[in-house]
Amino acid sequence: MSNDTHNIEAALRAPEPTLADDEFSVNVLARLPPRRRRSTARRWTLASAACLGSTLTALFAPPLGEAFASLSPWMIPPLAATTVAILVIVMVPGLYFLYSERADR
């Protein structure tokens, strides 16, 4: 290998300078689109809502159904009344969740 070739090779292999970040990463972050909702938080919210809904349904649907059937001026079978109670218990948090998702956009 000639001296010239050796010098070129050495110059090419010389390490490049490490550039200080300064404000570079901050500027990049500032140009990013708005942050997405944390999907982990969303998963936990859904799971918690499902557990809470199941618990409330199991605890309150049969007594609510019975109360609804006894208060109603019409003859409503207890099973139908319980079904209505279940629907109300499930739909209220469901509708609230849908509303909050829309508002978040």
Range 37-66, binding other proteins (CB under 8 A): 38-40
- Rounded-to-integer distance, Cα 49 and Cα 86, Å: 15
Binding segment for other proteins (CB under 8 A), chosen from 36-44, 62-70, 81-89, 92-100, is 36-44
CA 60, CA 46: separation in Å to the nearest integer? Answer: 21
The whole-angstrom separation of Cα 12 and Cα 14 is 6
Does residue 1 belong to the site contacting other proteins (CB under 8 A)? Answer: no
| Contacting residues toward other proteins, per CB under 8 A | 4-5, 7-8, 11-13, 15-19, 21, 24-25, 27-29, 31-32, 35-36, 38-40
